[in-house]
């Protein structure tokens, strides 16, 4: 009788072990499936991930030979001096469309960048302020959207003529300025030209 109880107990233990291992494997498989099925949110793209996700038609070729331009010192200068009373030029209000759209007239892309800029006096749609300093336009987004990649780059796929102004923003990849206190990218300085239109 004792042998029977021992054999029965050993069988029950073996069965429990098999059930635990099977359950554990099933949970692991579920976790793997869940993580591999979740797409990368566009807001989490680094510059390299964004380029990797693009097709040639979407503009991947643009990034092949583009140098990264770093004018963060101009951003820092403007942001640190924003209370300076000697400044006579006021901040400019803008409406930006924060999407990547090289060589197209639409702003439907899911990628980072900018495709449309409108100078505006003031309206609830304004989502950025700008200041011209040292021949650059310093852009300070005022909302959550800002066109920056997760690692702090700002892409302009083709020259953008600012509506209601004579400013043309030059194409390029620009480094955004990181504010240590806020713990986020807060502005970017870009190259500009002037159109000959009044």
Report how far residue 64's alpha carbon sits from residue 169's, in angstroms, rounded to the nearest whole number. Answer: 20
pLDDT of residue 155: 95
pTM score: 0.74
Question: Where do the structural domains in the chain lie, given as residue ranges?
Answer: 1-38, 43-194
Q: For the beta carbon of residue 41, count every other beta carbon within 10 angstroms.
A: 9
Asked whether 149 and 126 are in contact (CB, 8 A), the reply is no
pLDDT computed for residue 37 by the predictor: 32
Helix and strand numbers, DSSP H then E, in the chain: 3, 10
The burial class, CB within 10 Å (0-12 / 13-18 / 19+), for 153 is: buried
Phi/psi for 20 (5° steps) reads -65, -45
Cα 197 to chain centroid distance, Å, stands at 32
Look at residue 82 in the predicted model and tell me its pLDDT: 62
* Model confidence pLDDT, tens digit, residues 31-81: 443 333 333 444 578 999 999 998 888 889 999 889 999 999 999 999 987
Give pLDDT tens digits for 88-147.
678 999 999 998 887 666 787 888 999 999 999 878 899 999 999 999 999 999 998 999
- Residues contacting residue 104 through CB under 8 Å, at least 6 positions apart: 115
At 195 the pLDDT is 82
Q: Could you tell me the end-to-end alpha-carbon distance of the chain, in angstroms, rounded to an integer?
A: 105
């Amino acid at each position: 009788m004792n042998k029977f109880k021992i054999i029965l107990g050993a069988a029950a233990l073996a069965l429990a072990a098999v059930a635990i291992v099977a359950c554990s494997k099933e949970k692991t498989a579920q976790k793997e499936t869940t993580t591999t099925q979740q797409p990368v949110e566009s807001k989490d793209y680094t510059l390299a991930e964004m380029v990797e996700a693009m097709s040639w038609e979407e503009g991947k070729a643009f990034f092949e030979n583009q140098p990264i331009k770093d004018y963060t010192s101009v951003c820092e200068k403007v942001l640190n001096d924003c209370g300076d009373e000697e400044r006579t030029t006021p901040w400019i209000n803008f409406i930006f469309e924060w999407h990547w759209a090289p060589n197209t007239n639409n702003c439907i892309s899911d990628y980072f960048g900018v495709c449309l800029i409108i100078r505006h006096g003031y309206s609830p749609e304004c989502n950025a302020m700008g200041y011209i300093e040292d021949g650059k336009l310093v852009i300070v987004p005022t909302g959550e959207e800002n066109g920056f990649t997760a690692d702090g780059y700002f892409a302009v796929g083709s020259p953008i003529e600012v509506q209601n102004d004579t400013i043309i923003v030059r194409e390029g990849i620009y480094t955004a300025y990181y504010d240590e206190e806020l713990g986020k990218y807060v502005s970017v300085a870009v190259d500009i030209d002037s159109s000959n239109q009044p």
